[in-house]
């Protein structure tokens, strides 16, 4: 282990970092961050990093955003937290009232959790219980797409389809009906993204025909399969899934944990398809990346199926200690203020055009760049060994990881997904910073691959 400072030594003494092979830290020590400002992070040696993955996609409006900081400080001196069964507070009520004005039509009942995976668990349980209590106890299965990611708890991991996270746990996971997801880069029908009428929906149709009657819900990441390598599919496919769900009395659960809050260029990814899910899960951008909070939001119809005299036993007996946390809600309200007052999403959409064009100019002609896909400010560059055949590199090379290490040296936080380099920056990123991170990412890619 080379030249660790005292903080890095103590970190490694105590901490088991998430989603990491800790042995890798022998070569790449933990970076101890002292402070954050806007899209920048500064470590204990005052080295600056461009956080262009929004600290795992949650930081929406920059680190230490003055308005969010002020809102939390104000809340802190009034009320930090209160039991949420039978008790409430003004900040959470305000949040729900404001969200209900911008959510897809019909979503009106808010059930709080403290992380994304828990909101997914809540959605699955809620859907099953709804059907159980409305005369369809046989509806106890779930459908999900291949390559899906919905979190790490047992239920959420079960509906997920990324082997890297779930393979080893398969013996203890739920049995899920898996629908082959659209793949617009390696389209088996030979179409280009968005230039087809989604013949791949046929796979979903077949699964619904077979299992629709015993299925409670289909869960999807609308439009963007993030952890799968930022795979993007057209709104039409989502619309068709909605129609199938309606036909078979299957709930559509939209996991907007990563896609919500303007990440795709509209407030919700569902807005592109003009659809409403039966349950929508939010987290990440919800508090601007400040506090662990999540919500499963549902319809009056689902809510009503739980509404009965106590002794009928129909209540949703699900709780989290930190449900409706007041500090998190104060951050969430500030996020909505800022989005509205500063027209953040509209401006981000303008910047997104510039960002994507610059990335295309820079990367498209490289021999190993197979695909460049984008939605909102999110841009992903898939590296391949053979461009014509779209053949992936052997993952043992860990090219993405090598690029990550090089970029860190130059102060850019990329964290590729396998061999997919991506940018998912805070919506407030400005053009000079875009230029800088594109240049650094390109340089590092060339250093590794050429
Ligand atoms: C991050 C994420 C989750 C899980 O949220 P956690 O807060 O990490 O549990 C679920 N679904 C999607 C799409 C995500 O991006």
- Output the CA 21–ligand 1 centroid distance in Å: 20
Residue 236 pLDDT: 98
The contacts of residue 386 (CB under 8 Å, 6+ apart) are none
Residue 92 lies inside a defined structural domain of this protein? yes
Shared-domain flag, residues 119 and 156: yes
Is residue 277 lining ligand 1, measured as CB closer than 6 Å?
no
Atom 10 of ligand 1: nearest residue by CA position: 150
**Atom 11 of ligand 1: nearest residue by CA position:** 150
Same-domain pairing of 378 and 283: no
pTM for the whole structure: 0.98
Distance 257 CA to ligand 1 centre (A): 6
Is the pLDDT score of 258 beyond 70? yes
- Listed residue (175, 180, 187, 182) closest to 215, CA to CA: 175
What is the percent of the chain with per-residue pLDDT over 70, rounded to a whole number?
Answer: 100
| Span from the CA of 151 to the centroid of ligand 1 (angstroms) | 5
Domain ends where: 302, 319, 341?
341
Domain-terminating residue out of 326, 341, 356: 341
User: Which pair of tokens denotes residue 215?
Assistant: 């299925």
Q: Residue range 71-77: average pLDDT?
A: 98
- The continuous run of DSSP H or E covering 407 comes out as helix 399-409
Give the integer Cα–Cα distance in Å for 2 and 190.
50
CATH number at residue 318: 3.40.640.10
Best probe residue, ligand 1, of 113, 228, 284, 424 (max atoms within 8 Å of C-beta): 284
The residue from 323, 341, 359 where one domain ends is 341
CA of 268 to the centre of ligand 1 (A): 15
C-alpha of residue 255 to centroid of ligand 1, in Å: 8
User: Tell me, what's the pLDDT at 131?
Assistant: 98
Q: Is residue 261 in contact with ligand 1, taking CB distance under 6 Å?
A: no
253 alpha carbon to ligand 1 midpoint, in Å? Answer: 14
Examine the domain organization and report whether 349 and 238 are in the same domain. Answer: no
Average pLDDT of the residues in 384-410:
97
**296 and 363 share one domain:** no
The verdict on 182 and 238 lying in the same domain is yes
- State if residue 393 touches ligand 1 by the CB under 6 angstroms criterion: no
pLDDT by residue (tens digit) across 202-242?
999 999 999 999 999 999 999 999 999 999 999 999 999 99
* 120 has a pLDDT exceeding 90: yes
Nearest residue by C-alpha to atom 6 in ligand 1: 116
CB atoms closer than 10 angstroms to residue 349: 17
Q: Is the pLDDT assigned to residue 363 strictly greater than 60? A: yes
Which of 114, 151, 166 is the pocket-test mutation for ligand 1 (most atoms within 8 Å of CB)? 151
Work out the pLDDT band at 1, boundaries 50, 70, 90: low
Q: How confident is the model at residue 2 (pLDDT cuts 50, 70, 90)?
A: low
Closest atom of ligand 1 to 151 CA is 4
Q: Are residues 121 and 256 in the same domain?
A: yes
Helix %, strand %, coil % for the chain, to 5?
40, 20, 40
Q: What is the pLDDT of residues 156-168, one digit of tens each?
A: 999 999 999 999 9
Query: pLDDT at position 3, please?
Result: 86
Q: Is 3 part of a structural domain of the chain?
A: no
């Amino acid at each position: 282990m080379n030249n660790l400072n005292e903080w890095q030594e103590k970190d490694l003494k105590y901490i088991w970092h998430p989603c990491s092979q800790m042995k890798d830290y022998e070569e790449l020590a933990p970076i101890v961050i002292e402070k954050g400002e806007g899209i920048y992070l500064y470590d204990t040696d005052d080295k600056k990093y461009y956080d262009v993955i929004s600290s795992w996609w949650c930081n929406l409006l920059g680190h230490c955003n003055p308005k969010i900081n002020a809102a939390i400080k104000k809340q802190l001196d009034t009320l930090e937290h209160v039991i949420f069964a039978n008790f409430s507070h003004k900040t959470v009520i305000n949040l729900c009232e404001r969200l209900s004005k911008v959510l897809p039509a019909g979503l009106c009942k808010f059930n709080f959790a403290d992380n994304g995976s828990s909101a997914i668990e809540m959605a699955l349980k809620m859907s099953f219980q709804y059907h159980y209590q409305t005369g369809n106890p046989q509806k106890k299965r779930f459908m999900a797409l291949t390559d899906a990611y919905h979190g790490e708890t047992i239920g959420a991991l079960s509906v997920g389809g990324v082997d890297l996270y779930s393979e080893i746990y398969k013996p203890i996971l739920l049995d899920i009906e898996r629908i082959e997801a659209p793949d617009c880069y390696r389209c088996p029908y030979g179409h280009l993204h968005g230039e087809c009428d989604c013949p791949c929906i046929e796979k979903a149709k077949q699964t619904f025909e077979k299992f629709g009657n015993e299925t409670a819900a289909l869960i999807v990441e609308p439009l963007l399969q993030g952890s799968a390598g930022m795979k993007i599919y057209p709104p039409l496919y989502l619309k068709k899934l909605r129609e199938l769900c309606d036909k078979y009395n299957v709930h559509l659960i939209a996991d907007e944990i990563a896609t919500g809050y303007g990440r795709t260029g509209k407030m919700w990814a569902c807005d592109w398809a003009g659809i409403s899910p039966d349950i929508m899960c939010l987290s990440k951008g919800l508090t601007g990346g400040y506090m662990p909070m999540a919500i499963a939001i549902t319809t009056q119809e689902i809510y009503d199926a739980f509404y009965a005299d106590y002794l009928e036993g129909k209540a949703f007996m699900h709780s989290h200690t930190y449900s409706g946390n007041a500090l998190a809600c104060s951050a969430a309200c500030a996020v909505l203020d800022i989005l509205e007052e500063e027209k953040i999403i509209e401006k981000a959409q303008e910047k997104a055009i510039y960002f994507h064009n610059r990335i295309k100019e820079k990367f498209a002609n490289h021999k190993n760049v197979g695909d460049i896909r984008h939605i909102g400010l999110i841009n992903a560059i898939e590296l391949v060994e053979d461009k014509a055949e779209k053949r992936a590199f052997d993952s043992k090379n860990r090219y993405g990881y090598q690029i990550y290490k090089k970029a860190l040296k130059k102060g850019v936080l990329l964290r590729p997904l396998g061999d997919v380099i991506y940018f998912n920056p805070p919506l407030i990123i400005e053009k000079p910073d875009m230029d800088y991170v594109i240049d650094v990412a390109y340089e590092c890619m060339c250093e590794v691959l050429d």
